[in-house]
Structure 1
Amino acid sequence: MAQTGFVLILTDDEDQGARLRDELRQRGHSGVVMSSLADAQDSIRARAPDVVLVQSAAGHAAAPPVLAELLDGAARDATLLIDGPVGELPAVRHVRIQRLDPDASLSTRAAAVAAAAAKAVARREDRLLRTQIEEHRQESFLGIVGTAPIMQKIIERIRKAARTKMTVLIYGETGTGKDLIAQAIHAHSDRARRPFKVVNCAGLNENLLESELFGHVKGAFTGAVSDRKGYFLAADGGTLFLDEIGDMPTSMQAKLLRALERREITPVGSTDVRRVDVRLVAATHRNLSKLVEEGQFREDLFYRLNTFVIEVPPLRERPADIPLLVDHLLLRANEEHGTHAPGVSSEAMHALCKHYWPGNVRELKNVIERTAVEVADRQIELEDLPEEIRGSRELAPAGHGLAGMTMAQIERRAIELALRATNGNREQAAKMLGIGVRTLYRKIKEYGL
């Protein structure tokens, strides 16, 4: 993300200054050559330079103190380079002052000026990024961060859902924050002072899930040494959040539908019917309509759930929110781990914004948390980020740049991305890919991953 620096050269030898300016242009920076201190001052006031080079040996020994004070107010990110003798310099707060060897070759001097310009540009970009984040920083909506129009619409739907008693179905890819939306709905509802309970339906067989939801009595099955209250009763009067409901066994779906329609449950091993008052919020990363067509999800339960829908966009569809999310997640990481990373450089932020984020906000959170611990008390730079993020290659989904690849190559790439996004967690990767864990294990062995 190289940016062009603007260099002002103050010298009595305009030919030499022009040669240095041309050398800098070849290195990606622009510049002007001036021989008058007054003209240099006017130029700085008109356009803040990134570097000012003063050849004080050529009759400008009095210029550095004057320019240092002017730059400190007008170009706080700039560097003042001096290649000759100079008197006492004023105390400055912002501008950097460095000395150059007046006897160095043109190429050496150009390299030094170009390096100073690159650093000044980086400082300017970092400062502008911090200013932008501070201007747009806001209190999160119960952990939900985003100013993108699509996120504002979601927050409005959360408010609407909270005012009703309707069942809510949240769609979104893994890691998009569906659980935060469920919590926000509960927190803004008239049930906020009542329990909020969470059950993840993925990976639980029918018997275990039935016991988790409805409870059981002593002796209902081997290991049931005492009565146990299920989550429906635990959430009585409040909200029950069923995450990954698309993975619920079909045989269990009928029992859930009955509980929702009759507002009553029967613990496993009991004949006692118990009334419950529970507001249900469900979430899934799967296409329930397609599952209904395939016979993997009950149509009647689908229509019972599909009353008030909230669709959460993947992070790649709202890249403008990434700087705010990074700021929010970094503050949380510092609080949780006792680190003091002050921020992220503009170059690192650029890499974060262009990454595809197959694991969405959860993946971003893991990257920021891990990197904050590594850097401890300094700014996060591009080189601190994982290789797959700081590399020049942008991750792309299937369908982007896949021309010429076989289906097997595309499948292998999708599995690689899912495993990377879940830090190697194969169960989570299987859910992200919409396949069974056994199928994923077989594919991993097949592709040698």
Structure 2
Amino acid sequence: MTSRLRFLGWTLLGLVTLAAVGAGVVLALNLRGEDPLPERAEAFEATPQLVERGRYLALAGNCAGCHTTRGGQPYAGGVPLETPFGTIYATNLTPDPTHGIGGWSSAHFWRAMHNGRSKDGRLLYPAFPYPNFTQVTREDSDALYAYLRSVAPADTENKAHRLRFPYDTQAALAVWRALSFKPQPFVANANKPAEWNRGAYLVGGLGHCIACHGTRNSLGATETQLGLSGGLIAVENWYAPSLADPHEAGVADWPAADVVALLKTGTAPRGSVMGPMADVVFRSTQYLSDADLGAMAIYLKDLPEAVKQEASEEKKAPTAPVRRDAGAMVRGAKIYDQRCAYCHGDQGQGAAGAYPPLAGNRAVTMAQPTNLIQVVAHGGFLPATAGNPRPYGMPPFGHALDATEVAEVLTYIRGAWGNNAAPVTQLDTMRR
């Protein structure tokens, strides 16, 4: 009996020791890369030039998109951000001393941007994309801080997040950060020109493009090693296509001017934006300078060599026709003739400047049909921009077509006029 108790005692001690070591490792990983806050508040001068610089950077980061409710006071927070783990509410970024950042120093703000910690040291949820904002320079962080301190204060109280256990605990967040986050500044590539590096900084940092266009693991962290390889936007059920795949949204063979036009106006000769990306263009990229948009274009056009090689090999290999159900094609053709041909043409040719062609359109033939289903069911609308103030849109058909009919018309479109993409199933459409 005594030996058994001794064994249990040693086992318990071992488990406690392991738990203590594990907690120490998690704590150490959460503190890596952090500089201590200054003991005294730093002198900070918000010059008009700094404030204006911050206003521009806030547009580049689309900060208002998450921190301003529809019709609400700018940057007062309250926007619900739905995640697979529950709902997170964007916080008040106005200079209100109680609910906003009125009591924050520039160092507090920098720590939130770079390290993902609030003023009181609490760990922030990565719905605030500090895994990307960590790349933002201290100078740009200070400019953002100066601008946000200049907006009208709002005494809007921050809403409590509604997350399931254990995701609502700081302990779980600490483990997530230990596994998925490391503060790191942007490091320029010495082998690339200044414009490329500027584009990489904007795309990877303030633009946080990987937050949508990246693949996420089971813990919700972006797989950074996969880059901008595309990913399903959780809850919203839109697919952010790969920016490195020529069959999805890669722009390696686009003229740089067309990439700039797409980000500036929402439309270009070979594509247009809808869904969440339309909101990004409307709220953010249309306001960026041509120089910054050009830098982003240079960076996005510089595809990885592996992707270029894969695309080259695929062009050489003939593609066998995809087998389709003949009945579904006949029924889909009839729906297309009744609902779609008036705008998109009998042969899917579209109408220049108004309705996009469906024949040979990679948005139509992309392996992932999620966005097509969303557009047919809920409509598709380009952003109204200074360069395209009255864009054409597509009305929703979800009220007129059931899941089977949506699947059949998309199966037809993806297999007609030389298109050769996989059929859409009723199960696909029921996930919309």
TM-score range, shorter chain: under 0.3
| TM-score using structure 1 length | 0.22
TM score, norm. by length of structure 2: 0.23
1 or 2, which has the higher strand percentage? 1
Q: Highest CA radius of gyration, 1 or 2?
A: 1
Larger helix share, 1 or 2 = 1
